[in-house]
Amino acid sequence: MHSAIGSRKDFSNLDEDQLLAEYKECLEGILDHEQVRKLDLHTQHCNTSRLQHSINVSYYSFLICRKFGWDYRSAARAGLLHDLYFYDWRVTKYLRSGHASWHPRVALDNARKITELNKVEIDAIEKHMWPCTPVPPRYIESYVITFVDKTCAVFEFTERKCAQIAETLTQMFRRSYAS
Ligand SMILES: [Fe+2]
Ligand SMILES: [Fe+2]
């Protein structure tokens, strides 16, 4: 499994860490589902696959909701499923303009096919693009997902750029110390 962006934890064996084991338990039945795994074949932001992005949103939403005593299981599940769609909006021309409002409904339909969703999960998936979509979320967990989704997108977009800047700075320091 991909590690969540920015996390130092080793996601390759979730059972070896108490927190990750708890996270894994929340995702029982969907984490290894073929449809979820298929998300790895689709690009979400720059070099980030849609599965990686979904894990990022799922894990950090889980952490925030767990910290504040909210419904972290629903947050983890909705985070993993919130972008469960398989088209590429960049090439599917007629979807470009309506992608922001269209893909949450597609993801919700697809998620319902693989697991039974509770009302928090439905709300969080359906409204994760708010405020790009007009109807605001109903539950605190849904707000967490909309916030984490946008934050992760920023980090995913800038991750490569930041790595390049860090590399350039490192080389500059090395050169100045060598001379
Ligand atoms: Fe989305
Ligand atoms: Fe997303």
Q: Which ligand is nearest to the CA of 49?
A: 2
Q: What is the pLDDT of residue 179?
A: 60
54 belongs to a structural domain: yes
For 129-144, write each residue's pLDDT tens digit.
Answer: 999 889 999 999 999 9
Give the span between the Cα atoms of 40 and 48, in whole angstroms. 9
Q: What is the pLDDT of residue 64?
A: 97
- Specify the number of domains making up the chain: 1
Query: Peptide bond preceding 131: is omega within 30 degrees of 0, i.e. cis?
Result: yes
Q: What is the pLDDT of residue 163?
A: 67
Q: Which helix (H) or strand (E) holds 43?
A: strand 43-45
Q: What is the pLDDT of residue 77?
A: 98
Ligand 1 mean position to 103 CA, how many Å? 7
Q: Which ligand is nearest to the CA of 52?
A: 2
The domain that holds 29 is classified in CATH as: 1.10.3210
Q: What is the pLDDT of residue 6?
A: 86
Q: What is the pLDDT of residue 98?
A: 84
Ligand 2 mean position to 22 CA, how many Å? 23
9 belongs to a structural domain: no
Q: Which helix (H) or strand (E) holds 36?
A: helix 34-37
Classify residue 85 as left (phi > 0), alpha (psi -120 to 50) or beta: beta
8 belongs to a structural domain: no
Q: What is the pTM of this model?
A: 0.87
Ligand 2 mean position to 54 CA, how many Å? 6
6 belongs to a structural domain: no
Give the span between the Cα atoms of 136 and 2, in whole angstroms. 31
1 belongs to a structural domain: no
Low-confidence stretches of the chain (pLDDT < 50) are none
Q: Which ligand is nearest to the CA of 130?
A: 1
Q: What is the pLDDT of residue 113?
A: 97
Ligand 1 mean position to 109 CA, how many Å? 14
5 belongs to a structural domain: no
Q: Domain range holding 146?
A: 14-178
